[in-house]
Amino acid sequence: MPYERDFIGYGKNPPRFSWPGGRSLALSIVVNYEEGAEHSYPMDGIVESIGEFGPVDIKARDVGMESVYEYGQRVAIWRILDLFRRENIKVTFFAVAKALELNPSAARAIVEDGHEICDHGYRWTELYRLTYEQEREEIKKSIELIERITGKKP
């Protein structure tokens, strides 16, 4: 049975074309904005398994891991937005709605600076565990939340 995915592409013979304006590169920048959407003991009764030590099964807050995620919300987002503003770069934010909800001023700043928000879900939900209708509700909830916070549909 042939494999359905193409891992060869054009190989060593890339197509020849010209970018608009004589540019030599087209670059798409995407920033994942997810802090606060991860599993946490206060919200879920479990801690996030994506971290320094791999999956852990503890029934308590992991403040070290929480601080890793909080840094993005408290500090990094503002530094990144300043950098993009200074360099006049527009990007796409793959934003989890819960992260935007936890920091609505950052959400509004992203849009006010002219960046695009792509709906990256409501939380770090394992969609494969949901029914079709549950998945639709998750998508609807995230779209409505992003629009309510930013004034724009993702």
Query: To the nearest whole percent, how much of the chain has pLDDT over 70?
Result: 83
Highest mean pLDDT among 72-81, 88-97, 121-130: 88-97
- Identify the DSSP state of 5: S
Domain 26-150 has what CATH class?
Answer: alpha beta
Distance CA 147, CA 110 (A): 13
**Cα 121 from Cα 144, distance rounded (Å):** 11
Q: Is residue 37 scored above 80 in pLDDT?
A: no
Closest to 146 in 3D by CA, of 114, 127, 126, 121: 121
pLDDT in tens, 15-35: 888 888 988 888 899 999 988
> Has residue 52 got a pLDDT over 60?
no
Per-residue confidence (pLDDT) for residue 94, from 0 to 100: 96
Q: Is it the case that residue 2 has pLDDT exceeding 80?
A: no
The tens digit of pLDDT for each residue in 53-66 reads: 555 566 767 777 77
The answer to whether 150 touches 105, Cβ cutoff 8 Å, is no
> Does the pLDDT of residue 98 top 80, yes or no?
yes
In total, the chain counts a number of residues equal to: 154
d(CA 76, CA 35): 11
- Can you say whether the dihedral through the CA atoms of 140, 145, 150, 151 is positive or negative? positive
| Strand order, beta sheet including 92-95 | 30-33, 92-95, 116-119
Confidence of residue 123 (pLDDT cuts 50, 70, 90): confident
Collapsing DSSP states into helix, strand and coil, what is residue 37?
coil
So where are the chain's domains?
Answer: 26-150
C-alpha span between 17 and 15 (Å, rounded)? 6
Q: Which residues contact 1 (CB under 8 A, 6 or more apart)?
A: none
